[in-house]
Each structure stands twice: as C-alpha cells, then as structure tokens.
Amino acid sequence: MATSAKTITLAYTGASGLPYGVRLLEILLRSGVTVHLVYTQAAQIVAKQEMDFILASRPQDTEKMFAERFGDYSGKLKVFGIQDWFAPMASGSNPGDGMVICPCTMGMLGKIAGGISDDLIARAADVMLKEKRTLILAPREMPFSAIHLENMLKLSHAGAVIMPPNPAFYTHPQSVQDIVDFIVARVLDHLGVEQTLMKKWGE
C-alpha cells in the first residue's frame, strides 16, 4: 500500500513524552499520511509543561496551530474532540489503517485492556483490536507495577503492539532530538511508513 493512502489515528494522553507524539505527527504529515488526531485534557496540560504550546479545546484551533508549526498539508490533519462519537475511527466501518497512542498513560492502557470505551481514544483503540488493525501503545511510566504489566500482556495477547519509548545508544545520539527520532522511527517502521530518521540495523 502506498504511504500516501494511509490513514493513521494518533492520540495523545497525559503521560510525559509528548515530544515523541508531536514529532511523529510531523513526520506522518510530511510522508503524506492522513492523520486523525485526538487528545485528552491531561495531554493539554503536558503540552504546555513539556513543549510550551497550547493544544486547544477547539479542534479547529489545534489544526491551525499545527498548520502554522509544520506547514499546510492540504487537509491531511483532522483533529477530533475526545467525545466526538461521529469521528471516523469510532466505527469499525471506517477505522483507518492503524492507531498510535503516544504517549500512553497507564490509565488509558488499563481502560483499553478492560474494554471500557467511554471516550474516543479508548473506543478507537477497541475498534482497532476488533478489526485486527495495527494498534501501537507507547506507555511512558517507570517502574511498571504488576497491574501495568498484566494489562500490557492482556493487550499484547489481543493484538496490540506495546512500544515503551526506550532509547537506544548504539546509534550514538548527540541530542535529545536524536533520541526522540529513534523512537519515532521504530513506530513508523511498525506502521509501514517509510522513514529516513534512522538507518536500519546492518545498513
């Protein structure tokens, strides 16, 4: 499948690590991927704390902000409210090609593991699992409790990909951006989106 034909749902939650999710959004858009973005209220707080920008309460304001930040991608980015049940990814009839929750809180991970679809992020993740599409969760927590580990194992058995954003050092990163790009590159690989952020092992 051509990269330009892909539609990916991207979700931000209130865990630390929003720079991973924002860089992922940037590269997906530059790769011609249509991105459906949704985020929690806690993610809005993290955006201000970690990156000093506003994820607005009105989706259209966030679309405008990212257009100014990354450039106009001719409608490739669509932002949805977390209670927008008419969003495409809320139904198995229009799930898109994959979904990434980056960063992912243990609370959101637990809701998905328990089948509690009380917001658009959890519902979209549930749809991905039942439709057997790619669902990637990037849990940003340490240490993991037994509850966290059990929930991750349950989701792994259900078909989700658990990708904690653990950096590698064999690439000799020279900056925080290099570390972020390593994580984003691994996510892109699992989505089937070509990337030039990191050379593959052995190349």
Query: Distance between CA 32 and CA 74 in Å, rounded?
Result: 10
Label residue 2 by pLDDT band (50, 70, 90): very low
Q: What is the pLDDT of residues 19-66, one digit of tens each?
A: 999 999 999 999 999 999 999 999 999 999 999 999 999 999 999 999
Q: Tell me if 202 is assigned to some domain.
A: no
Count how many domains the chain has.
Answer: 1
At 75 the pLDDT is 78
The residues facing 162 across adjacent strands are 137
Are 164 and 138 contacting, i.e. CB atoms less than 8 angstroms apart?
yes
Indicate whether 16 pLDDT > 50: yes
Query: What is the total residue count of the chain?
Result: 203
Q: What is the pLDDT of residues 156-169, one digit of tens each?
A: 999 999 999 999 99
Are 53 and 4 contacting, i.e. CB atoms less than 8 angstroms apart?
no
DSSP letter for 48, please: I
Q: Tell me if 18 is assigned to some domain.
A: yes
124-134 residues labelled b (16+ CB within 10 A) or e (exposed): bbbbbbeeebb
Query: Distance between CA 16 and CA 13 in Å, rounded?
Result: 9
Q: Tell me if 103 is assigned to some domain.
A: yes
Q: Tell me if 200 is assigned to some domain.
A: no
Q: Identify the CATH number of the domain in which residue 163 sits.
A: 3.40.50.1950
Q: What is the pLDDT of residues 104-155, one digit of tens each?
A: 999 999 999 999 999 999 999 999 999 999 999 999 999 999 999 999 999 9
At 203 the pLDDT is 76
Indicate whether 71 pLDDT > 60: yes
Domain that holds residue 15: 3-191
Label residue 73 by pLDDT band (50, 70, 90): confident
Q: Tell me if 43 is assigned to some domain.
A: yes
At 117 the pLDDT is 96
Query: Distance between CA 89 and CA 20 in Å, rounded?
Result: 22
Mean pLDDT of the chain: 94
Are 17 and 140 contacting, i.e. CB atoms less than 8 angstroms apart?
yes
Phi, psi of 135, deg, nearest 5 = -125, 120
Average pLDDT rounded to a whole number, residues 6-22? 97
Rounded (5°) CA angle 36-60-24: 40
As a whole-number percent, the residues of the chain with pLDDT over 90 amount to 92
